[in-house]
Each structure stands twice: as structure tokens, then as C-alpha cells.
Structure 1
Amino acid sequence: MPSEQITKSGVLIVDPQTNMAALVATMLRGFGRRDIREANDATQALAELRRRPFDLVIVDDALSDMDAVDLVKRLRATANSNRSASVIMMAAAPDAARIEAARDAGVSEFLRKPFAANQLKARLDSIKARPRAFIDLESYAGPDRRRRREDVGDDRRCD
């Protein structure tokens, strides 16, 4: 087995289906990413996150051993280098409440399954082109949830 090459741009894919994790890894390799690790449950994912830094975590919403939103909350609550990693959540049938819960947990982007490689690339490009500040409050840790920047003018009142 070749030795692992750890880079500053590592990706962790967390998906209970090994074939889906492998497919996402293949897509990422097509985009030039080489430092990719796969975990098939939250326990493996947490072990990987403790072991080394990643700049991107891609997690499937259908984890069986822990709720995926809870996994993201744990990631954001842990004081280590992975706390500020970008997180893309994948889901087969998300509803608005689930997407909102993921956003409120600190997910950076959401991707509905099934998806094509260009849709994953669009999420990666969005993260790179429009990085959002990391917010660290008692009630929330994660990327700034506001996507639009609007000039409200000097005459806006707060009464």
C-alpha cells in the first residue's frame, strides 16, 4: 500500500454507500484533487477529522450511526483545524426544513442526489469564488449564512 500524501487541500467524503463515496472521489480526481479520504460512517469520519486536517468535507445526509446534521454540529464545535473546513451535504430527498437545519448547523453548500460532476464542480467553484467569513458565536459556528451583500444606504433606520 503506498504511503498517504497529506496536503493542505485534503477532502473527506463521508457516505454510507462505498460505491457513492468512490464515485464522488473519482469526480474530485477529475477536477485535480488528489488528497481524498473516504469514511463510511460518522465514527470513521470523526476519527479521520481528529487525525489530520481537511479543507473540504462532503457528507451524505443518510448516515446511519449519527445524524449528518449532528456530525456537522460536532465538527463546528470542535476546536481544531477542521472546524472551519467547507462542508457540502448531499441528500437524495431533502425538504426545506432539512436544508435549513443543515445550513443552521454550518453546512457551506447543499447538493441534491443524484447529481452530475458539473453540479459538484459548481459547488466547489462557489466555495472558492465567494468564500464566506467564518462566524464563531455561542449559538452558531460556521460560514456566514448570508449569501447576498446589499447596500442598505445611510438613511436606513433601526427603530
Structure 2
Amino acid sequence: MRFDLLKILLVDDNQHMRMLLIEILRAIGVRQVYEAMDGAEALSIMRTTAIDVVFTDLSMNGLDGIDFANLLRRSPDSPNPFAPIVMITGHSTERRVHEARDAGVNEFLVKPVTARGVIHRLTLLIENPRPFVRAKDYFGPDRRRRDDPRYAGPRRREEDRATFVDDPEDAARRGHPTRRI
């Protein structure tokens, strides 16, 4: 896996956590790491730099991780609504996990973070990316972990069917920029 080609954005108001993640990422070969203190600064960086993966803390001063994910996924002026997001938090209650999932987060990483956990999440994002879906009240990666993104089985209501965004070029033509790793 070519981690050296990735541009990763770390969003956390805790400098020690950012330094820990930088050391882990550098150890696996990542060379381009950008840092932001909150979601607002992260969005600003993403407007000028094509970021491949975002690691964001859930709880931050300023614009927190949930609000950042919501803006990145749903704002009309989002710099990249398809950017993979890994939510990092010490608050792993079911409510918080659901909140992150519903904001369009791709993966969830619970503190204390480990090198193995970071590598596992990056590998999942790169080797097994989930298709993005657009529904009435959601845009982001398919929230179900399964092989067939067009499941039409008995537990799927017709009125709740989402539009899958499988083709990045088609998504770009419709105003949803994306970048393949």
C-alpha cells in the first residue's frame, strides 16, 4: 500500500493528539500531513489542498467533529463532500457513534489510538471504500457494511431508496468533486 502518496488532514484541538497521530502516520510512510485546530480551520485548508483522508476529533472547541462532518458532506460550498472521514473520540457511547455515522463519517476510532487502529482504518478506506449514497436526510458513505451496494431486499422500503454515487466522474459533472487515491 502506498501511504506515501496520501495527503492526510488531522483535525484536533489537542496538540499532543496531533503529534501522536503524526508520529504514527510518518512511521507508516505518510509524508504529507496537514493540521487544523477545529473544523473551520480544516475546511479552510481543504479549500486550498486536495486532502485524501481526514482524521478528526469528535469534541473540539470551535467547530467540532460532528458539525465539521455535516458541513463537509452537505454544504453547497463544501471543498470535497466525498473526502473519507475517520472520527476519533474518547466518547464511544452508542449515541455518539450513531451521531458520527449519521453525519457521514466513514470510520470510527476510539481513544486511546494505536498504530494498529490507524493503519486498519486507512486500509479499510483505501481497499474497501464504501459507495456514497444520497437520501432525503443523508449524504455520505453507505452506512451498512455489506458487499452489494444495491441491496433491494425485503427490509428496504421503496420510498427510502437512496441514490448511489458510484462514478466519481459522474459525481463531478453533477457538482460533487471527488478524488481517487
What is the TM-score with the length of structure 2 in the denominator? 0.74
Kindly state the Cα deviation for residue 103 of structure 1 after the two structures are TM-superposed.
0.4
How many residues of Structure 1 are paired with residues of Structure 2 in the alignment? 151
1:4 corresponds to: none
2:11 equivalent to 1:14: yes
Q: Percent identity?
A: 35
2:21 equivalent to 1:29: no
* Runs (5+) with no aligned partner, structure 1: 1-6
Equivalent AA in structure 2 for residue 143 of structure 1: P
Distance across 2 between alignment mates of 1:58 and 1:128: 14
Q: Is the 8 A contact 1:41 1:63 kept in 2?
A: yes
* Runs (5+) with no aligned partner, structure 2: 158-181
Kindly state the Cα deviation for residue 80 of structure 1 after the two structures are TM-superposed.
4.8
Equivalent AA in structure 2 for residue 87 of structure 1: I
Q: Is the 8 A contact 2:72 2:79 kept in 1?
A: no
1:40 corresponds to: 37
Selected match of 1:71 from 68, 71, 79: 68
Task: Give CA deviations for 1:54-96 in whole Å, capped at 9, x if unaligned.
Answer: 1100000121112321110000113555210110000012210
Q: Would you identify which runs of 4 or more consecutive aligned residues in structure 1 move more than 4 Å?
A: 154-159
SS at match of 1:66: coil
Distance across 1 between alignment mates of 2:61 and 2:155: 48
2:51 corresponds to: 54
Task: Give CA deviations for 1:109-151 in whole Å, capped at 9, x if unaligned.
Answer: 000000210111111111122111112334211111110237x
Q: Is the 8 A contact 2:8 2:34 kept in 1?
A: yes
CA RMSD of aligned residues (A): 2.6
Distance across 1 between alignment mates of 2:107 and 2:155: 33
Residue 157 to residue 127, structure 1, CA distance change in 2 (3 Å): closer
1:1-159 paired onto structure 2 within 5 Å? 9-78=6-75, 79-80=77-78, 82-149=80-147
SS at match of 1:75: helix
Q: Is the 8 A contact 2:40 2:68 kept in 1?
A: no
